[in-house]
Amino acid sequence: MAIAVALGLYFNITVAEWMILVLAGGFVLCAEAVNTAIEIDIDLTSPEYHPYARDTKDVAAGAVLVAATTAAICGFFIFGKYIVAAL
């Protein structure tokens, strides 16, 4: 997120682009918070190994991966044109 802020300030991106960056970053943080809550809950309710517990944790981690990938794609679309223009 810090890199996106630095690039945004450097390239002087538009308000709409800032909004997209903030939403994408918030999306990742929310997904990570939900993932953490699910992992804590699974650890409390299923202290022994169980394949369903593992699968639940894997799906929650996959949601974080999807959120991070989406944020990276947003960053690529926003900063790609500025970086190409600067070269």
Q: Tokens for 77?
A: 């679309």
Instruction: Show the DSSP H helices in the chain as ranges.
Output: 2-11, 15-45, 51-86
pTM of the model: 0.86
2 pLDDT exceeds 90?
no
pLDDT in tens, 64-77: 999 999 999 999 99
* Rounded average pLDDT over 30-54: 94
CATH classification number, 2-86, choose in 1.10.287.3610, 3.40.190.80, 1.10.8.10, 3.40.50.300:
1.10.287.3610
Question: How much is the pLDDT for 20?
Answer: 95
Domain boundaries, the chain: 2-86
* Rounded average pLDDT over 31-37: 97
